[in-house]
Amino acid sequence: MRINRIAAGLAVAAMTAVGVGAATAPAGAGPTASGQVPEVIKVPEGNRQIAFLQAHGVQTYQCANGAWSFLQPDAILESYGRAVILHTRGPVWTSVEDGSSVTAATVASSPVPLAVPQLLLRSTGNRGPGLLGAVTFVQRLNTTGGLSPAGACKDGATASIPYTADYAFWAATPR
């Protein structure tokens, strides 16, 4: 766990050093650029959106047996140019403001041409009482880039491919 936190910290520092993004979605922005979320990745009734943030980062792949396989994401999720959440291997999202986190697993995906797919993920664990402490679902929307390298590779090689996405975080609607 400590190694993952160090890796995430280094990734954030590296992305900051190369000027990784500052554009953010305005308040009240729709869930996707087209305004439509594919049916397969819609969040079930009984949940409300609690955050919608833009992410800039990398999808890292590692070569094993001459083929590329997904290793981990490293991204910064921002609001109005301010880092709010770090996204790392697990997948895990951790609030830089209050330390709360959510771990999730993919429930459904929707393909995107020339980009990693849009996803619906269900929480498998939460930590802390803060922003992410009650998250039930995460959506990865409006993806660009991040696809696995093509072709053969040398075992042990890694490649970090830039990507952007919007992430929507959902919590159960109070009864």
pLDDT reported for residue 35:
66
Alpha helix locations (H) across the chain? 2-17
- Please indicate, yes or no, if residue 31 is contained in any of the structural domains: no
pTM score, whole prediction: 0.82
Q: Is residue 29 part of a domain?
A: no
145: number of Cβ within 10 Å:
16
In the prediction, which pLDDT does 34 show?
A: 56
Instruction: Provide the domain limits for residue 8.
Output: 2-24+37-172
pLDDT digits (tens, 9 = 90+) for 62-91: 999 999 999 999 999 999 999 999 999 999
Separation CA 122–CA 103 (nearest Å): 8
Would you say residue 32 lies in a domain? no
For position 17, what pLDDT does the model report?
A: 32
| CA–CA dist 148, 173 (Å, integer) | 37
Q: What is the pLDDT of residues 118-170, one digit of tens each?
A: 999 999 999 999 999 999 999 999 999 999 999 999 999 999 999 999 999 99
Q: Which of 73, 81, 63, 47 is nearest to 143 (CA)?
A: 73
Residue 51 belongs to some domain of the structure: yes
8 Å CB contact between 112 and 145: no
pLDDT band at residue 32, thresholds of 50, 70 and 90? low
Q: What is the DSSP string of 109-131?
A: EEEETTEEEEEEEEEEEEESSST
Task: Tell me which residue of 50, 52, 48 sits closest to 80, measured CA to CA.
Answer: 52
Residue 20 has pLDDT above 90, yes or no: no
Q: How many domains does the chain have?
A: 1
Q: 98 lies in a domain?
A: yes
Residue 30 lies in a domain: no
Using a 10 angstrom Cβ sphere, with 0-12 exposed, 13-18 middle and 19 or more buried, the burial of residue 62 is middle
| Domain presence at residue 168 | yes
